[in-house]
Structure 1
Amino acid sequence: MALKAFHVSDVPNLDQVPQSASFSLYSTRFSKGLELNRAASFRIPKFLVIGHRGHGMNLLQSSDSRMKAIKENSILSFNSAAKFPIDFIEFDVQVTKDDCPVIFHDDFILSEENGTVFEKRVAELCLAEFLRYGPQREAGKDGKCLLRKTKDGKIVKWNVEIDDSLCTLEEAFHKVEPSLGFNIELKFDDNIVYQQDHLTHVLQVILQVVFEFAKDRPIIFSSFQPDAAQLVRKLQNNYPVFFLTNGGTELCYDIRRNSLEEAIKVCLEGGLQGIVSETKGVFRNPGAVPKIKESKLSLLTYGKLNNVPEAVYMQHLMGIDGVIVDFLQEISQAVADMIKPAKAVNAEEGLSEGNGETEAKSKLQFSQQELSFLLKLIPELIQH
């Protein structure tokens, strides 16, 4: 891949939205739909809970069995997530060599043959090659052994309690519960600076599938690749686009990825609708939250801390719009308990809806241990 940067302003407007497209993202899971129009106004009407890679990511070296329960980024994982009261699932989309959008997180796919480990870039495989890895949908057919490299460089077998086949984006549209929204992460290699024509081609291939099969399903696009995020916003006006950032928790070569302030600039320059930040990035820089809101941007978060109910509730209090989580059962239940609709709270407290003197409360009653955790959380994060 040639290393050549570009300015998204140089790209012509390639708006491919069908004339009949609706500009309201509505789901039966929402009391109100997510609203987007061509002027880029966007509103999230409730605190969103989003399933990370479906039912949760696979962390194969973890001692927590929940991190190895169901194969991530699979149809089974997505439909398992749909059983919980969540709003969206998040998953990663790449495009194969023969122009098919597939769902897979890692840049490389690893396998073993005759004791030798092979590593191949997903974007350099054709669809048929990609689908040969892991369990096969055809009865009696065995797939290639699927391995994974951990963060510390170890190569382990991709063993989960309930396995499933690899899948395409089109397949997800056909087979996943239709009321469940899709947060489609546009996946690119962090170590490559992509040419303009390559990014444009990849995004057009993905958009073609989305436009053809999304129907009324709510969609949010997101990407760590700032040029891709701005470009997909320029290529279509139908769905909101969020910029993904680690919020300064790790240093990147591209300075646009190194702080929430830079993320705000990326969004405002490209007309994006929001930011998805690593949770620690927000807790370390809470002053960025009002700046994001003043810029009329939405804010979602991801990261391990989103599996801690108290950390999720703190974000709700801070005005964050939603969280991407792995432990769906625990967090969706905690959110339901912590963030009660005003009508339900009024009913519990014997208040009438017309009583303007008393504002409904939705705050959780914390134990002393929980309060201690909340008070210590932000300082500990800043130190580490």
Structure 2
Amino acid sequence: MALKAVHVSDVPHIDQVPDNVLLAICPNRVSKGVELGGNAFRASKFLVIGHRGNGMNTLQSSDRRMRAIKENSILSFNAASKFPIDFVEFDVQVTKDNCPVIFHDDFILSINNGTVFEKRITELSLSEFLYYGPQNDSQEGNCLLRKTHDGKIVNWNVETDDKLCTLEEAFQKVESSLGFNIELKFDDHIVYDHSYLTGVLQAILQVVFENAKERPIIFSTFLPDAALLVRKLQATYPVFFLTNGGSELYHDVRRNSLEEALKLCLEGGLQGIVSEVRGIFRNPGTVKKIRESELSLLTYGKLNNVAEAVYMQHLMGIEGVIVDLVQEMTESLADLITPTKAIGTGEEGKEEEGSEGNEGKVKVEGDIKPQFSERELSFLLKLIPELIEL
């Protein structure tokens, strides 16, 4: 296996309900591709999840791939579905007239007569929200802008644009075999009361249960109270807690470490954790604790666009990664990760003649993984600390 040198600057940055009211109307359905037993969630394979579809938009990036297709759009989800991924991750918020829509940022920006207008997604009606960006007819919608991390306001220009969409549209128009990792999106700077959270989550769950059918679903959220509440409201789909893994600090201590995330999941009956990958590499011993607690562990972050860093996670027992460069990462991982195969059989799955002790049975060897040479492993151990800037 040949390793490719990666410079840090070339790696795209990832940004990052009354109790039981819905249980009576929610069928007991289990997503394909996962195993559920009690409170446990287990993927049957190493999961690759497309971030906001085919990848997030970084509008100031010199990498064209980060500006190729509008993120969190039907077009982006279906583009990702053409590659061997398992889920697409996207952000869901609820408009003031109670419609779940797909959009990452807390605020939406546009310009009129030289003046920039900023409005919170949750304060817009559905019709107001959908009027931003491209429209279905020749009518021109509100120009869509975006505020960058450094506070600059730029035009949201991508090579292939698409209109904004609702959660219901995603269920109706996206390849049905593709799983949805639905991030329940809330503003980090707002303290939400129980009744508001309940209403928002009920609106989202209603759309999910009316439209999901056999589609695999995972819920995730950075808001601890929302994670606990959506777990109480339904027992059909797994709920994961999102955490920065200690790379950022918040007033709510439950968000400040992998240890606190583990504690929250165990106390609230959640099925797993989605951690910023740097938190994992800085605290690898936590992976064993999480796995021993029968919780699943996924990661997100810019390192998940580096195949060697992802493969290291596979070896550590992490169950899946959220990536931006969907095509490149699926191609790279296909070379790095060898699928489970049968042993003691011929090409057609029949027992090989002279195979002693098989007695007509096909043995399956699980977790067959290619091994790094000592030289390659040494290189990786030096590469990863540099990438995460320890």
The answer to whether TM tops 0.5 is yes
In 2, distance between residues paired with 1:366 and 1:57?
A: 34
Which of 378, 381, 388 pairs up with 1:375?
381
Does the CA contact (< 8 Å) of 2:342 and 2:365 recur in 1? Answer: no
Counterpart in 2 of 1:83?
82
| One-letter code aligned to 2:253 | I
The secondary structure found in structure 1 opposite 2:341 is helix
Counterpart in 2 of 1:34?
34
| One-letter code aligned to 1:13 | N
| One-letter code aligned to 2:291 | K
Counterpart in 2 of 1:107?
106
Spell out the pairing of 1:35-50 with structure 2 (5 A cutoff).
Answer: 35-36=35-36, 39-50=38-49
> How has the CA–CA distance of structure 1 residues 168 and 357 changed in structure 2, closer, same or farther, with 3 Å as cutoff?
closer
Counterpart in 2 of 1:321?
319
CA deviation map 1:88-142 (0-9, x unaligned): 00000000000000000000000000000010000000000000000011x2111
CA deviation map 1:225-254 (0-9, x unaligned): 000001000000010000000000111121
Counterpart in 1 of 2:132?
133
> How has the CA–CA distance of structure 1 residues 192 and 358 changed in structure 2, closer, same or farther, with 3 Å as cutoff?
closer
In 2, distance between residues paired with 1:367 and 1:103?
A: 45
The secondary structure found in structure 2 opposite 1:25 is coil
Does the CA contact (< 8 Å) of 1:36 and 1:238 recur in 2? Answer: no
In 2, distance between residues paired with 1:167 and 1:143?
A: 14
Does the CA contact (< 8 Å) of 1:345 and 1:362 recur in 2? Answer: no
| One-letter code aligned to 2:109 | L
State which drifts further: 226-235 or 337-346: 337-346
Spell out the pairing of 1:180-195 with structure 2 (5 A cutoff).
Answer: 180-195=178-193
Give the length in aligned residue pairs. 365
Counterpart in 1 of 2:253?
255
Whether 1:238 aligns to 2:236 is: yes
> How has the CA–CA distance of structure 1 residues 346 and 246 changed in structure 2, closer, same or farther, with 3 Å as cutoff?
farther
The secondary structure found in structure 1 opposite 2:23 is coil
Which of 277, 291, 294 pairs up with 1:293?
291
Does the CA contact (< 8 Å) of 1:49 and 1:87 recur in 2? Answer: yes
% of aligned pairs identical?
A: 70
In 2, distance between residues paired with 1:22 and 1:288?
A: 32
Does the CA contact (< 8 Å) of 2:47 and 2:320 recur in 1? Answer: yes
Spell out the pairing of 1:10-25 with structure 2 (5 A cutoff).
Answer: 12-16=19-23, 18=25, 21-25=27-31
TM-superposed deviation, 1:16: 2.9
TM-superposed deviation, 1:346: 8.2
In 2, distance between residues paired with 1:383 and 1:145?
A: 38
Which of 139, 142, 149 pairs up with 1:144?
142
In 1, distance between residues paired with 2:387 and 2:339?
A: 31
Does the CA contact (< 8 Å) of 1:203 and 1:232 recur in 2? Answer: yes
> How has the CA–CA distance of structure 1 residues 100 and 321 changed in structure 2, closer, same or farther, with 3 Å as cutoff?
same
TM-superposed deviation, 1:24: 2.0
> How has the CA–CA distance of structure 1 residues 358 and 85 changed in structure 2, closer, same or farther, with 3 Å as cutoff?
closer
Does the CA contact (< 8 Å) of 1:284 and 1:381 recur in 2? Answer: no
Does the CA contact (< 8 Å) of 1:346 and 1:360 recur in 2? Answer: no
> How has the CA–CA distance of structure 1 residues 344 and 156 changed in structure 2, closer, same or farther, with 3 Å as cutoff?
farther
| One-letter code aligned to 1:41 | A
Counterpart in 2 of 1:74?
73
Which of 196, 199, 202 pairs up with 1:198?
196
| One-letter code aligned to 2:369 | S
Spell out the pairing of 1:150-165 with structure 2 (5 A cutoff).
Answer: 150-165=148-163
TM-superposed deviation, 1:357: 12
CA deviation map 1:167-207 (0-9, x unaligned): 00000000000000000000000001100000000000000
In 2, distance between residues paired with 1:286 and 1:348?
A: 40
TM-superposed deviation, 1:35: 2.5
> How has the CA–CA distance of structure 1 residues 265 and 83 changed in structure 2, closer, same or farther, with 3 Å as cutoff?
same
TM-superposed deviation, 1:18: 3.2
State which drifts further: 336-345 or 110-119: 336-345
Does the CA contact (< 8 Å) of 2:341 and 2:364 recur in 1? Answer: no
Counterpart in 2 of 1:214?
212
- Structure 1 residue ranges (4+ consecutive) displaced by more than 6 angstroms after TM superposition: 344-349, 355-360
In 2, distance between residues paired with 1:308 and 1:178?
A: 28
Does the CA contact (< 8 Å) of 2:303 and 2:387 recur in 1? Answer: no
Counterpart in 1 of 2:50?
51
The secondary structure found in structure 2 opposite 1:203 is helix
TM-superposed deviation, 1:294: 1.0
The secondary structure found in structure 1 opposite 2:236 is coil
- RMSD value, Cα: 2.5
CA deviation map 1:203-222 (0-9, x unaligned): 00000000100011000000
Does the CA contact (< 8 Å) of 2:343 and 2:364 recur in 1? Answer: no
> How has the CA–CA distance of structure 1 residues 148 and 360 changed in structure 2, closer, same or farther, with 3 Å as cutoff?
closer
TM-superposed deviation, 1:271: 0.5
- TM-score where L is the length of structure 1: 0.89
In 1, distance between residues paired with 2:290 and 2:365?
A: 30
